[in-house]
Structure formats: C-alpha cells, structure tokens
Amino acid sequence: MYNDKNLINYKISSKGSLSTGSFPSSCRKEKIYYKNFTPENAADRRVVFVHDLFDHHGRYTNVVEELNGRLSWPFSFSFIDLKGHGLSSGVRSSVNNFHELSSDLNYFLTEVIEDEKIILIGHGLGALVVLDLFQNFAQTFSKKVIGVVLTNPLIKIKKELPNINSVLRKMPSIEATKKIHVPFHFSGKELTQCEVKALSYDSDPLVNHFMSYSFFCELLTKAKELRQASYFIDFKTLLLLSWKDPICDHDMTTLFARGADKELFTVKEFGEFKHDLFNDLHNEKVFDAIADWVKKL
C-alpha cells in the first residue's frame, strides 16, 4: 500500500479534521484505504465518493470545498481507493471478480461509516461499482443512503478497445492470461479540457496506465449486464452526462436512464464537458447542479 506522502499535491483546505484508515478487502488479501473529512460544525450527513478507473481519491478532494461552500448545512466526506488503485493495496487495476469492488464498498458503508445519512457519488468505474452495490446489497444499507449521484458511468465504453487475441493465443494457460497487461488506459486530454489538470493526471504516480486482462473482461461483462438494469434503482438518483465524453457512450447511457423510474431519476447533461466533470473547465456548473439536487432531498 502506498503512503500518504504520494498525495502531497492533493489537499483539503476546508476547516475540519482529516482521518485515514484501512480495512480488509473482500478477497482478504488486500487493504482498502479510505479518508474521512469531518467539518468543525456537527454534521449528520455524509458524502461518499467512489473514483474512476485507473484513478484515486486524491484527484477529487475539491468536492469537499465545492459542495460545502454551496450547501447551507455542513457535510462530512469520505473517499475510498478501490482495490488495486491509489493508496489501496493489490495488483494495479486488477480484480478476479467485479463483485470484489462492490463488496468492499458495502463493507465500508455498513461497518466503517457511523449512523449518518449518506449520499453516494460514483464517477465512471465508481458509478458501475455503485450500481452493482444496488443490485447485490441494497437491503443492507437502504436505511442509510438518501441519494445517489452517477457521473458518466462506464455503461458502455466508446473509446476504442485493444484487440489482444493474437497475444492470448500464445499464452500457455487461462490463468496466465489473467496476468496480461492490457494496453488500455485514459489520457489526461480525454478527461479534461484543462491543460494543467490533464498534465497532472498524465504524470500522477498514483494513476494506473494499464489494466489486467481479468479486470478488462470483468469490466466489459459487468457494463453489459448493468445496461439493462436501471429498473432496480429505487433510490433518488442524479445522473450527470457529458456530450463530448470520448470514453463513455452517451447514447447508451441515455437509453439506460430511460428504463429508470422517472419519479426517482433526474438527468442533467453538459454539452461542453469531457469525461471528468469534476476536473474540467467550468466545473462550477457541475457542483451547482449537485448542490441544487441535494437541497431537495
């Protein structure tokens, strides 16, 4: 597991206290890192943020300042690094089963977080993890969660995927193929139009620049499964989409949203943004939309 020193450029300036910790992953071999922010004034509501593929929590700590600055009551915040990402241990961008990720999130919500009302924010891969959580664990945390925000979920990947069949044919066994590094990753320019943020992403030592073949297969399988499953979402949900997202298929995600309960589902689209709504230019529009929606919960 990495050290907090790797996050020297990712600070939270809001007044309050920070705490960090870890818990055993569902696969029992790894440790999952988390960070909690508690404001000076008492808060009975908490935002839990789940990051994107290849990513880590540190790139989203601006969520604390932006949302607490827009809301009339203070929120606590929690961030976790998924297995094999950021400060959590595990082979980088690798899982044997997608279910491991949602199991870890379920443990965090039910065993680590205290008795607070929770708003879940899942971005990209994090949104898929949240959706898988709904499908498998909703009964265990339904009394805690009061709302969900999904941003550019990886329902279908539009970015061109690599063809590695020629490499697979040379592998001696099925187990050996799981360890292959798939030449698939995101670039900073695909995520944001902000040149500074794009360069920061590309040079970030905590950002993964490859994924394992096992994760690659699990991701595609889970995304296909969840495209047809919006009907099971029975939480108030805000879906944020980018028209210019070069990674996620906007049209497929729109179809996904049409299958959801219109009384519970709110969709907000941003024409000028790329994939990473939280770190793109004019991201104040995104935080305004989230804060306005939260105020109505």
In the block, which residue shows the tokens 């219109």? 262
Instruction: Name the one residue in this structure whose structure tokens are 């965090």.
Output: 108
Which pLDDT tens digits describe the chain residue by residue (297 residues)?
555 655 545 667 667 888 999 999 987 789 999 999 998 887 789 999 999 999 999 999 999 999 999 998 889 999 999 999 999 999 898 888 999 999 999 999 999 998 889 999 999 999 999 999 998 888 877 788 999 999 999 999 998 878 877 666 666 566 666 678 888 899 999 999 999 999 999 999 999 999 988 899 899 999 999 998 888 888 899 999 999 999 999 999 999 999 999 999 999 999 999 999 999 999 999 999 999 999 999
Strand partners, 77: 37, 47
Q: Where are the alpha helices (DSSP H) in the chain?
A: 62-68, 99-107, 125-141, 165-168, 174-177, 188-191, 195-203, 213-226, 250-258, 284-294
State both tokens at 174: 């099925």
For domain 4-294, give its CATH number from 3.20.20.70, 3.50.50.60, 3.30.750.24, 3.40.50.1820: 3.40.50.1820
Domains of the chain, residue spans = 4-294
288: tokens are: 């305004």
pTM over 0.85: yes
Please give the pLDDT value at position 162.
80
Q: Are 46 and 78 in contact (CB under 8 A)?
A: yes
Which residue, 127, 86, 72, 98, is CA-closest to 278?
Answer: 127
pLDDT at 175: 65
- How much is the pLDDT for 183? 85
